[in-house]
Amino acid sequence: MINFVIVDDNNMHRKKVSSIIMTIMMNNKVSFEIQEFGDFNSTLLNYFKNPKPNSIYILDLELPSGDGIDIARKIRDEYNDWTSPIIILTAHTSLYFQVYKQRLQILDFIGKSDNIEKNINENIAICLRMLNMDRIYKFTYRHTDYTIPINKIDYIQRDDRRIKIVCKNEEYYTIDTINSIKDNFPSYFIISCKGTLLNMNNVLKIDWINCKVYFKDGLEAFVVSKSHKKDIDNYERN
């Protein structure tokens, strides 16, 4: 899930940016949410207290109660978030150099009078790569198409005649086979027990006494067997 945060006091322009994002993300078939704010105010500050993961900030440079640089500084310095991409929108492209001098790791500086749709499209493509959301698993189950970022999958397991795909808060099903998925997935997905692929990048620790896996996202599952301990140990050593 990608979480977009748009801050712009011009309602018409904010809706335009939101519409552009919706079109791009639906075409990419990546799940997303959009939060809109009209100013640097208490509502926005409340969002920062409980920010959502995989956030992309699109900030107007000039706002009634501050500016986009103030918001970017709060994101970077006060909340110590140096991974979320930040894009600045402005009607004054002459301020480009001043923005970059702030050293707030701004991804791009987009003029509102430029080809904004093209620029946002290009920036979102970069953001998806930065957030490791560009590598996705697309499949169809019961006439419904699904798209899941691979890095969000904790494990994949055979479930009778189906394959269950497990993320932190969601489960999906497919009729693909474990072998076909393994052949097309990154090498950090390894067989951890019979009929199970484990995403080693998401593993926090393994309790080998109880054959239980603790994932970084808080999920816990009995998805390892001692017969595959050697393979997992070899992966961890490498």
Structural domains for the chain? 2-130 (3.40.50.2300), 136-237 (2.40.50.1020)
End-to-end CA distance of the chain: 30
Biggest CA-to-CA distance, the chain: 63
More confident residue, 237 or 22: 22
CA angle 203, 206, 211 (to 5 degrees): 125
Strand, coil or helix: what is 50?
A: coil
pLDDT in tens, 126-141: 998 887 666 788 889 9
Q: Is the pTM of this model over 0.75?
A: no
What are the Cα distances from residue 34, in Å, to 3, 37, 55, 83?
6, 10, 10, 18
pLDDT in tens, 181-197: 888 787 889 999 999 99
